[in-house]
Amino acid sequence: MLLTISLITILIALIVMFLASILSKKTILDREKNSPYECGFDPKGSARLPFSLRFFLIAVIFLIFDVEITLLLPIASISNIANIFSWMFTSILFLAILLLGLYYEWIQGALEWSS
């Protein structure tokens, strides 16, 4: 029973993805529509400028540590209801993993903006 429901769910998902990929394709490619628009004038430069890979790396590191901080917030709220030894062990282990990750990023030079 469970296998049948799983197969039907997967089949429906595949059919929907297939139909979406077929129906969403644009068949008419126009040079004017694909060019960047600057108030009716021809563009002065390229619309696709390269961005700094360092900026992207810092942004990804920020997002990772931001998510980890949201994982740290419940630690303080469960301190009263959890076993103190398991709570302390889990908290110290999680913080050690975070500090090791931060140390690794620091050693690799990912946190230095000008290099």
pLDDT in tens, 89-110: 988 998 899 889 889 988 988 7
Q: To the nearest 10°, the Cα dihedral for 55, 59, 60, 61? A: 100
**What residues does each domain of the chain span?**
2-108
Helix (H) or strand (E) holding 11: helix 2-23
Q: b/e per residue, 53-62, with b = 16+ CB within 10 A? A: eeeeebeeee
Q: What is the pLDDT of residues 48-93, one digit of tens each?
A: 667 777 788 888 888 888 888 888 888 888 888 888 898 899 889 9
What is the CATH class of 2-108? mainly alpha
What is the C-alpha to C-alpha distance for residues 6 and 15, in angstroms, rounded to an integer? 14
